[in-house]
Amino acid sequence: MATSIDISDLNIYYGDFLAVEGVDMTIRARSVTAFIGPSGCGKSTFLRSLNRMHEVIPGARVEGKVVVDGQSLYDPSIDPVAVRRQIGMVFQRPNPFPTMSIYDNVLAGNRLNAKRMKKSEADDIVERSLRGANLWTEVKDRLGKPGMGLSGGQQQRLCIARAIAVEPQVLLMDEPCSALDPISTAAIEDLIHELKSDYTIVIVTHNMQQAARVSDDTGFFNLKAAGQPGHLVEFNATSKVFSNPDDPSTEAYISGRFG
């Protein structure tokens, strides 16, 4: 199910503004890839270009190629809605649907797909997804209660359950722990570790220790100068990036000398 992503010569624009320039990278299947770099260097923009979420902003566009499972995502024949189903996303702030129960939150994506489901099939998806997100035992006795009644960390795991309920190939996570306390953060990090046996995971994080803990590969993005586009400085195994990076600016960033 999981798949690699090949990105070549990708330029990402907001109108006339070139936000990210010339990215080449291969994201490996069944691995965790982290993007790090100073604020404004284009990590989130790049992440959103991987499931065609970038273009929902008026005037936003890309040049170059993103190939998933042999399919070029930006080919005119490709339906962006189908891409977003195949490549799910988890955001910085947990965003369960406030009026829906835990049960209905998990199924929200499946129901958008407009397939009618038997109750037993829906029950199975809810249990499998909540187990997959390490939330089942905490919520199994209150599935009919509102998702908003959960703690922040539980809400984020509910959002991960919702994302995996549609059986995507890739999970994109944009600073998924930045609104969480250390215990909830540890729970999400453990979960990321477990999920990578089934999914290709890409995570943006400001937390260097988190990148070092959870990822197999790390991409360091930077700006050449203020107002210049962001670019990928270095993409390597995480162990190398954090012990013996190729580029002096990577070393400076991870040792806290800028950013």
Ligand X SMILES: Nc1ncnc2c1ncn2[C@@H]1O[C@H](COP(=O)(O)OP(=O)(O)OP(=O)(O)O)[C@@H](O)[C@H]1O
Where helices occur in 1-145 by DSSP H, the ranges are: 43-49, 80-86, 102-112, 119-132, 136-139
* Length of the chain in terms of residues written: 259
Task: Classify each residue of 220-240 as buried b or exposed e, where b means 16 or more C-beta atoms within 10 Å of its C-beta.
Answer: bbbbeeeeebbbbbbbbebee
Contact 13, 62 (CB under 8 A): yes
Contact 210, 180 (CB under 8 A): no
Nearer to ligand X by Cβ, of 57 and 112: the residue is 57
Nearer to ligand X by Cβ, of 37 and 132: the residue is 37
Give dist(CA 72, CA 11) in Å, integer. Answer: 15
Question: Taking the complex as a whole, how short is the minimal distance between the CB of residue 221 and ligand X, in angstroms?
Answer: 6
Question: Taking the complex as a whole, how short is the minimal distance between the CB of residue 19 and ligand X, in angstroms?
Answer: 4
Give dist(CA 172, CA 92) in Å, integer. Answer: 11
CA 110, chain centre distance (Å): 19
Question: Taking the complex as a whole, how short is the minimal distance between the CB of residue 117 and ligand X, in angstroms?
Answer: 36
What is the β-pairing status of strands 17-27 and 5-14? antiparallel
* Rg of the chain taking only CA atoms, in angstroms: 18
Nearer to ligand X by Cβ, of 86 and 205: the residue is 205
Nearer to ligand X by Cβ, of 61 and 65: the residue is 61
Q: Which residue ranges make up the site for ligand X (CB under 6 A)?
A: 14, 17, 19, 37, 39-45, 57, 230
Nearer to ligand X by Cβ, of 105 and 156: the residue is 156
Question: Taking the complex as a whole, how short is the minimal distance between the CB of residue 66 and ligand X, in angstroms?
Answer: 16
Question: Taking the complex as a whole, how short is the minimal distance between the CB of residue 98 and ligand X, in angstroms?
Answer: 24
Question: Taking the complex as a whole, how short is the minimal distance between the CB of residue 165 and ligand X, in angstroms?
Answer: 27
Is the alpha carbon torsion for 108, 110, 115, 121 positive or negative?
negative
Is the alpha carbon torsion for 16, 49, 11, 74 positive or negative?
negative
Question: Taking the complex as a whole, how short is the minimal distance between the CB of residue 175 and ligand X, in angstroms?
Answer: 7
Nearer to ligand X by Cβ, of 17 and 239: the residue is 17
Nearer to ligand X by Cβ, of 2 and 47: the residue is 47
CA 208, chain centre distance (Å): 16
